[in-house]
Amino acid sequence: MNIRKYNDKFTLSGLLIIWLIITQIGYMSLGVFNSDYFSFGPSERLKFINAPIDTWFKWVVLASFRLIGTVAEVASGDMIGPWITTTIQDEHKKTLPFPAWKCKMIVQMFYFYHDFNSMFSVFLALTQVDMALIVIICQSTVVQFWTLPQWLDGKVYISKDFNKLDKIDKDSIENLV
């Protein structure tokens, strides 16, 4: 198998969007978009854990909670999640940036928040498409405009074969530029 075919992240990302469009057209042909789920704003049919969301005030409160919760979840996932993986779970690292009890508390609070918040997120996403779109738009655009530049800061684009970087000494990167 030629793994190089699967290394073009830009092409693969584009294929994901094409597949998303194809599936949406398929759903449309099935009449999925005609259901009550695909309505917007408050209604007598909209319920969140059996509580009716039938006024704009209730809808705005619920949408605001979801928006703020999504920002907190994505921001913490982008900042604390990688830290847990690269610092706490890395078996090769033998030092901690905080005392062990503090590292345990950070990890436990992160996962507790994430899991507890996810429980309500699932209920909310299944109520109506506008609530799901709040999460999707917030996760895929708004928060990433803040976190992605932080990941890219200080990195340079190398126009040569990026995959060769793993095989060379880090000091010879200048020879590729």
For residue 173, give every residue at least 6 positions away whose Cβ sits within 8 Å of its Cβ, in sequence order, or none: 158, 165
19 with 97, same domain? no
Dump pLDDT digits (tens) for 137-165: 877 776 677 777 877 887 777 766 655 55
Tell me the sheet residues that pair with 6.
none
Dump pLDDT digits (tens) for 3-29: 555 567 788 888 999 999 999 999 889
Dump pLDDT digits (tens) for 48-66: 888 899 999 999 999 898 8
73 with 12, same domain? no
2 with 77, same domain? no
17 with 52, same domain? no
Range of the domain at 23: 1-34
